[in-house]
Structure 1
Amino acid sequence: MTELAARRPATRPRRNLTQMVIADLRERIGSGGLQPGDKLPTEQALIRQLGVSRTVVREAIAGLRADGLVEPRQGIGVFVREAVRPSSGLSLLSEDAGKISSVIETLELRAAVEIEAAGLAAERRSPAQEAKIRERYEEIAAAIARGEAAEDADFAFHLAIAEATNNRHFGEFFEFLGRRTIPRSQLSDRGASPVRTPAYVRQLQGEHETIMAAICQGDAEAAREAMRIHLKGSLERYQRLRREAR
Structure 2
Amino acid sequence: METVPYSDNGSVFRERAVSWEGTACELSLAGRIPLADLLEARKALEVTQAALAAARRSEEDLRAMERALAAMAQSIGNGEEGEEADAAFHLALSTASRNAMLADLLQTVLDRIELVSEHARATRIFCDTAVSEQLLGEHQAIYRAIRRQDAAEAQEKMKLHLFHVGRLLLRFAALPQAGRC
When normalised by structure 1's length, the TM-score is: 0.53
Compute the displacement of 1:183 (Å).
8.2
Compute the displacement of 1:110 (Å).
0.5
CA gap of 1:104–1:92, structure 2 versus 1, over 3 A, is same
Does residue 68 of structure 2 align to residue 136 of structure 1? yes
Structure 1 spans left out of the alignment, 5+ residues: 1-86
Which residue of structure 2 aligns with residue 56 of structure 1?
Answer: none
Compute the displacement of 1:143 (Å).
1.9
CA distance in 2, matches of 1:131, 1:107: 27
CA gap of 1:94–1:120, structure 2 versus 1, over 3 A, is same
Does residue 29 of structure 2 align to residue 94 of structure 1? yes
Compute the displacement of 1:108 (Å).
0.8
When normalised by structure 2's length, the TM-score is: 0.69
DSSP 3-state at the match of 1:144? coil
Deviations 1:94-126 (A, max 9, x none): 1339xxx83322211100110011011011101
Q: Letter of the aligned partner of 2:151 in structure 1?
A: A
Identity of aligned residues (%): 29
Matched positions, count = 154
CA gap of 1:157–1:112, structure 2 versus 1, over 3 A, is same
DSSP 3-state at the match of 2:34? helix
Asked whether the equivalents of residues 174 and 181 of structure 1 are also in contact (C-alpha less than 8 Å), the reply is no
DSSP 3-state at the match of 1:228? helix
Which residue of structure 2 aligns with residue 18 of structure 1?
Answer: none
Asked whether the equivalents of residues 76 and 126 of structure 2 are also in contact (C-alpha less than 8 Å), the reply is no
Alignment of 1:112-191 (within 5 A): 112-144=44-76, 147-149=78-80, 150-180=82-112, 186=118, 188-189=120-121
CA distance in 2, matches of 1:224, 1:189: 27
Does residue 135 of structure 2 align to residue 204 of structure 1? yes
Structure 2 spans left out of the alignment, 5+ residues: 1-19, 177-181
Q: Letter of the aligned partner of 2:63 in structure 1?
A: A
Compute the displacement of 1:130 (Å).
1.3
